Structure 1
Amino acid sequence: MRRETQNILLVLLGGALLKISFSGLYLRYVQKGLLPLLIAAGTIMIGLALFAIIRDIRRGKAVSDDEHGHSHSSRSTWLMLLPVLAVFLISPPALGGDVVSSAADTNQTQRSRNLLGELPAGDVIPLSMTEFVTRTAWDESGTLDGRRVKLTGFLTRADGDTFVARLAISCCAADARPLKVKLAGDVPSLPNEQWVEVTGQVVPKSASEKNSWVPSFTVESSTPVQEPAEPYES
């Protein structure tokens, strides 16, 4: 592959990183805290390509493949174009129900033995799926029992049961782990992958090793919502 083509591809790849960074699309792939690294990487790629282009112009000639000892086409370099096309043409959505369905039940949650804080006061408590599932698995004092909670996630179904689910990541989408809660009561009849807010109460002692620590949740009300800007929890 010619030097000029390599430089152009590098500019495009760097531009793709900056595009997903400033448009917020990066949240479909990595955690929010990695934004500065993405911007830096995109800027460096564009800077290196521009430096090479300017250097070649100052030399007064384009550097040919033969001058660099490449007598054949480097097909692997064209692979740099694939992520660019994915960002500009495809823009893959955030991971969803297919990951929840295919993931092993043992990855249901990263249960922690850290001390859990007190629940806030109020008639309805908004909780992340991570905190809700963790509490149902480890909080033996039953602080959630009898408390009305609001959860936000997307709907998924398996074996006749309906779940509200969310994906949590430690770094990026590659390490996503599913969090899900089995719905009972006034279960919404919306399609799979629809994001919802559900309000209700946990079924006490419903999460156990036998059901892979998936708690049950009695739904009192539900509202369809748009996918949040940050679809993953951390």
Structure 2
Amino acid sequence: MRTALLSDVHGNEAALDAVLEDIQSNRVSAIVMLGDISYRGPKPSECLEKVRTHCDYVIKGNADEWAVRGIHAGEVPAEAIELMRAEQTFTAGHLSEDQRAYLHHLPSSLELPLSNKRQLYAVHATPESLFTVIPKHAEDEAFQAFGSANPRADYYAYGHIHDPHYRRINGKSIINTGSVGLPFDGSPEASYVLLDRDDDVHVQFRRVPYDIDRAVQDLSDTGYPAEAVPLLRYIYENGSRPV
């Protein structure tokens, strides 16, 4: 059996469609979404409904929290907050009351059996916070909170940093899925992870090309805040943030 782990769609329906199609072609038995579904992209409602339809397990990310209650001072750099609040207004305005309630009530973590002997523990950022950043090249000690929060697990998964990676620490596996809709690792292709589940668990990172022109056009067609369009277009086309 196979489990798909995906995260950080950020309202990019074109990327999500491509990933869901790839998942379908790989005969996946369960899909796990690690948060950041709607905010910061042109198709917040459409992406949320596809996640609700296709994903078996969904947890909350910081952008899901922002979509519902807004962005507080101090949560993002001061020079970015005006732009990001304009994007939040767009997102919230395209979500129904039911959709906002769904995001609000999402759990912040998930424990899932992968086999008779292996457990997965998943969060968006860290077990303690939706916002804390643990980068790809962090020291092993930065991941201690995962084991402390759930010592039973053999595999720990998170999203949030938009930069896929894998490492082993004291016999445990740490997996970052990368981002479906806003990759930051230099490849514009959508990123997600497959876990092949037999007597053991095998981790496979997947990169999926998608119609970037469609995603860029969606920014215009939906009336996404004009001041944010150059940034998102750059990320869609380059798979990284502007320097």
- Please give the range of the TM-score, normalised by the shorter of the 2 chains: under 0.3
Superposition TM-score, scaled by structure 1 size: 0.24
Q: Which has the larger radius of gyration?
A: 1
Q: Which of structures 1 and 2 has the larger relative contact order (alpha carbons within 8 angstroms, sep 6+)? A: 2
Superposition TM-score, scaled by structure 2 size: 0.23
